[in-house]
Amino acid sequence: MTRLIVGPFNRVEGDLEVILDVADGAVREARVKSSLYRGFEQILQGKAPLDALVFVPRICGICSVSQSAAASQALASAMGIKPPDNGRLAANLIQASENVADHVTHFYLFFMPDFARDCYKSQPWWHATSGRFKAVTGSAAGDFLPARAGWMRAMGLLAGKWPHTLTLQPGGSTHPINASERLRLLRVLREFRAFLERITFGDTLETVAAITSANELASWAERHAGSDFGLFLRASQALNLRALGHAGVAFMSYGAYEQPNGRWWPAGVWAGGPALLDPTQIAEDVSHAWYADAEAPLPPQRGSTLPIADKDAAYTWCKAPRLGGEVVETGALARQLVAGHPLAHDLVARDGGGVEARVVARLLEVARLVPAMETWAEALRPGEPFSVAGELPAEAEGMGLVEAARGSLGHWLSIRRGRLHNYQIIAPTTWNFSPRDSAGRPGALERALVGVPVGEGEKAPASVQHIVRSFDPCMVCTVH
């Protein structure tokens, strides 16, 4: 048995190491190590509750809006208020802007450059992928970066500044969008749609969103081999990425995008079939993380975060959240499964949901979200309220559950004597990259890496890189 330490990883947000025990040419056990801790939960104690809206976005520069959305919902639940229609639509648009940007950034800057690796030089598609996606020099960055900068004007129009937007408040949005801003917003949406349809997909978003099965996807890929998504599917098929990186656990989604009667993509659990999500079943185990132990895993509403530097069993700063004691995977694939999209169902029924299914689900979401954003923007009513006022009680509890690009994000807070008494955060990658729990059950990525072949003398196997990045990890969110 040999031990391999892969990391620090580049092209992920934040610091990450993966420790692999290899025997007989394959990974036998994997341990995921998050090596960065800042102490947001400690810092937030005793602060003015509304100041959480300024603190929490700084957990992460890439999903700052999701953090801000979770905080505003947690505060809104403590205050017992609900944004008006315009506020709801603005929040959906702001969150969707970030989630689309994150998905596309992951695809272009973080995930695809792995196909430009020299180890794939003998593949017939290597010239295409390396010319297009090689980090820094590939031609795709030149197409993508200006499109992304253009897309972010939507965030400017809706929310002023990004990263670290301040516009989302418990009662709605601070920014009443006027008729001319709405018009400009629609133009930004149209321009980005053009980029996606011309370059990313080479097809209309509606056609991509309407693909219902793995077979249909394969034949679509043959007809659109020149598009960036087509190029991914070609490489993925050649490398059999569909068979790589299954975690073999249930999928969870908190549900995303508020509608007048619930969320567009509903909350739930998928474990071979649909199940209801009960948030009170969530608890965090710290047996293998550098935190002071509790007698039993604590639900986040009563959670604690006390770092201790010396702990024998610990190997990471990441806690191990569990749903009813079980490991779950979260992310775009989980969201589309729970929301009942037939392509997500077919991919998971066929291969269980590995590297390929995760990447496909992300691009599927992009194809579904941009048209939805067009409808939301049309539905805005300039002149009508974007926000309601509310009073902050001196004693209260609050919970905010949202879906970030990378998966389920929850904030739990309690207010005592008008100040924050406790504030606990569970981020998507905390779920996906969690360490072992007290029963020894490995987290989702730790499972997904088991059995991966490692060649003689290989230091950082490409397959390991694909699996890790297929989760689109955000390490700065994971540990905050």
Partner 1 sequence: MTETFYDVLRRQGISRRSFLKFCSLTATSLGLGSAYAPKIAHAMETKPRTPVIWLEGLECTCCSESFIRSAHPLTKDVVLSMLSLDYHVTLMAAAGHQAEKQLEEIKKKYKGNYILAVEGNPPLNEDGMFCIEGGRPFVEILKETAADAKAVIAWGACASWGCVQAAKPNPTRATPIDKVISGKPIVKVPGCPPIAEVMTGVVTYMLTFDRIPELDRQGRPKMFYGQRIHDKCYRRPHFDAGQFVEHWDDDAARKGYCLYKMGCKGPTTYNACSTVRWNDGVSFPIQSGHGCIGCSEDGFWDKGSFYDRVTDIKQFGVEANADKVGGTAAAVVGGAVVAHAAVSALARARNQTGIDVPKEGDK
Min CB(1)–partner 1 separation in Å: 20
Q: Which of 68, 169, 434, 478 binds partner 1 (CB under 8 A)?
A: 169
Min CB(256)–partner 1 separation in Å: 22
Q: CA nearest 231: which of 103, 331, 363?
A: 363
Q: CA nearest 138: which of 9, 231, 223, 202?
A: 231
Distance CA 465, CA 123 (A): 18
51 touches partner 1 (CB under 8 A) = yes
Window of 51-59, 238-246, 278-286, 437-445 that interacts with partner 1 by CB under 8 A: 51-59
Distance CA 126, CA 139 (A): 14
Provide the mask over 11-30, with x wherever binding to partner 1 is found by CB under 8 A and - wherever it is not: xxxxx-x-------------
Q: Which of 3, 28, 127, 161 binds partner 1 (CB under 8 A)?
A: 161
Question: CA angle, corner 338, sides to 273 and 334, nearest 5?
Answer: 105
167 touches partner 1 (CB under 8 A) = yes
164 touches partner 1 (CB under 8 A) = yes
157 touches partner 1 (CB under 8 A) = yes
The total of other beta-carbon atoms located within 10 Å of residue 345's CB is 16
| Nearer Cβ to partner 1 (253/305) | 305
- Alpha carbon 96 to its chain centroid, in Å, reads 12
| Nearer Cβ to partner 1 (97/336) | 97
Provide the mask over 27-46, with x wherever binding to partner 1 is found by CB under 8 A and - wherever it is not: --------xxxxxx-xx---
Distance CA 294, CA 131 (A): 52
339 CB burial (10 A radius; 0-12, 13-18, 19+): buried
- Alpha carbon 359 to its chain centroid, in Å, reads 12
- Alpha carbon 380 to its chain centroid, in Å, reads 27
Residue with tokens 């593949």: 123
Phi, psi angles (nearest 5°) of residue 168? -75, 120
DSSP structural state of residue 297: P
The enclosing H or E element of 313 equals none
372 touches partner 1 (CB under 8 A) = no
Looking at residues 90 to 109 of the shown chain, list those that interact with partner 1 (rule: CB under 8 A).
Answer: 109
Q: Are strands 282-285 and 320-323 parallel, antiparallel or unpaired?
A: antiparallel
Q: What is the sign of the dihedral through the CA atoms of 374, 379, 382 and 387?
A: negative
339 touches partner 1 (CB under 8 A) = no
Q: Which of 77, 129, 173, 429 binds partner 1 (CB under 8 A)?
A: 173
Instruction: Give how many residues touch partner 1 by CB under 8 A.
Output: 79
DSSP bridge pairs for 419: 416
Window of 20-28, 265-273, 292-300, 382-390 that interacts with partner 1 by CB under 8 A: 382-390
Min CB(54)–partner 1 separation in Å: 5
Looking at residues 258 to 287 of the shown chain, list those that interact with partner 1 (rule: CB under 8 A).
Answer: none
| Nearer Cβ to partner 1 (193/419) | 419
Window of 133-141, 318-326, 366-374, 443-451 that interacts with partner 1 by CB under 8 A: 133-141
Min CB(42)–partner 1 separation in Å: 5
Provide the mask over 429-468, with x wherever binding to partner 1 is found by CB under 8 A and - wherever it is not: ------------------------------xx----x---
Give the alpha-carbon dihedral of 329, 264, 345, 238, to 10 degrees: -70
190 touches partner 1 (CB under 8 A) = no
Residue 218, CA distances (Å) to 228, 460, 469 in order:
14, 30, 22
Q: CA nearest 30: which of 14, 6, 10?
A: 6
| Nearer Cβ to partner 1 (150/266) | 150
Looking at residues 54 to 93 of the shown chain, list those that interact with partner 1 (rule: CB under 8 A).
Answer: 54-55, 58-62, 64
Looking at residues 217 to 256 of the shown chain, list those that interact with partner 1 (rule: CB under 8 A).
Answer: none
Distance CA 66, CA 202 (A): 30
**Hey, is 109 helix, strand or coil?**
helix
206 touches partner 1 (CB under 8 A) = no
| Nearer Cβ to partner 1 (252/409) | 409
| Nearer Cβ to partner 1 (317/376) | 317
Provide the mask over 290-319, with x wherever binding to partner 1 is found by CB under 8 A and - wherever it is not: -----------------x-x-------x--
Q: Which of 172, 300, 400, 435 binds partner 1 (CB under 8 A)?
A: 172
Q: Which of 21, 29, 82, 152 binds partner 1 (CB under 8 A)?
A: 152
**Hey, is 133 helix, strand or coil?**
helix
DSSP string, 143-188: HHHHHHHHHHHHHHHHHS-SSS---EETTEES----HHHHHHHHHH
393 touches partner 1 (CB under 8 A) = no
CA atoms within 13 A on the CB side of 369: 28
Q: Which of 21, 29, 50, 128 binds partner 1 (CB under 8 A)?
A: 50
199 touches partner 1 (CB under 8 A) = no
